A and B are shown apart, each in its own frame.
Chain A
Amino acid sequence: MNPLGEHERAAIREVFTDLEKDVPILLELGPEKEPVTVLAGGREIDFGDETKTLLEQLAELSDRIDLTVTETDLPGQWPKTTVAGALVYRGLPWGYELTAIVGAIVEAGRTASSLTPASLETLASLERDVALEVYVTPT
C-alpha cells in the first residue's frame, strides 16, 4: 500500500518545515475488541497495517518526527496513535482525516499555541477535567 502520493508528500513535507520542536509519535497495535470489516478497492482493510504504513511515510517527511511502534495481545481500540504524548487518534486516519493527524503533528510541533489569548485565558480558568472524544469519519 502507498497511502501518500508524491503530490501529498511534497505538500506535507512543506508543512512539516514549520515544526519548531521534535514530535514523538507512538503507534499502538493490537487485536480489535469489536472487529469490523471494511472493504476498499475490493479488499479488506487492515487498520493497523495501513496506519503503520501511513505513519512511517509521515515520519520520513521530517527529521523532527520520531515514530515508535508497539504491539499488544490485549483486545482494545487499536490502532491508537498518540502524538506528543497527548493527542490521540483511534483508528486509521485515512481520507479527509489525514489532515487531523498532520494537524496534530503541526500543533504539537509549535512552541506557542495557535489559540487566541482569550481562549487560552478561558482554558486556564477550567476548574474540572474535560475528556473530549471527537467522532469522525474519513469523508
Chain B
Amino acid sequence: MLLAFRCALASERVTAAAVEATEFSVAADHHGVVSVPAIVANDRLAWVGSVPETAFVAHISRIAGTLP
C-alpha cells in the first residue's frame, strides 16, 4: 500500500486509494479480488501480491503505456 501512496505523491499521473475489501466486498467481488493485496489499475485487476519497488513502478509504467 505504501508504494502506491509513494507513487501518488511522486507523480501527478498516479492516484492511489486503499480499499478495505471486507467492508467493500461488493466492489472487491466486482473486480474479482480473491486475495490481498490486490491492485486494481484504471478499474481493472492488474496484479495480486506484494512486489518490490522496482517491479511496482514497472507495473505502473506498463499500464501507462510507457513500457512495452
Could you list which residues of chain A lie within 8 angstroms of chain B, going by C-beta atoms? 32, 34, 36, 38, 47, 77, 83-84, 86-93, 97, 99-100, 103-104, 107-108, 113-116, 118-120, 122-138
- Please determine whether A88 and B53 come into contact, CB atoms closer than 8 angstroms: no
Residues of B in contact with A, size category = 35 or more
Bound Cα distance from A104 to B18, whole angstroms: 10
- Among A93, A113, A129, A132, contact of B10 (Cβ-Cβ < 8 Å): A113
Q: Is the interface of A mostly helix, strand, loop or mixed?
A: mixed
The 3 closest A-B pairs by CB, nearest first: A91-B20, A88-B17, A123-B11
Could you list which residues of chain B lie within 8 angstroms of chain A, going by C-beta atoms? 1-2, 4-11, 13-28, 31, 33, 36-43, 53-54, 57-58, 60-61, 63-66
- Among A36, A104, A119, A132, contact of B25 (Cβ-Cβ < 8 Å): A36
Bound Cα distance from A124 to B60, whole angstroms: 12
- Among A116, A122, A130, contact of B58 (Cβ-Cβ < 8 Å): A122
Most chain B CB neighbours (cut-off 10 Å) among A34, A87, A114: A87
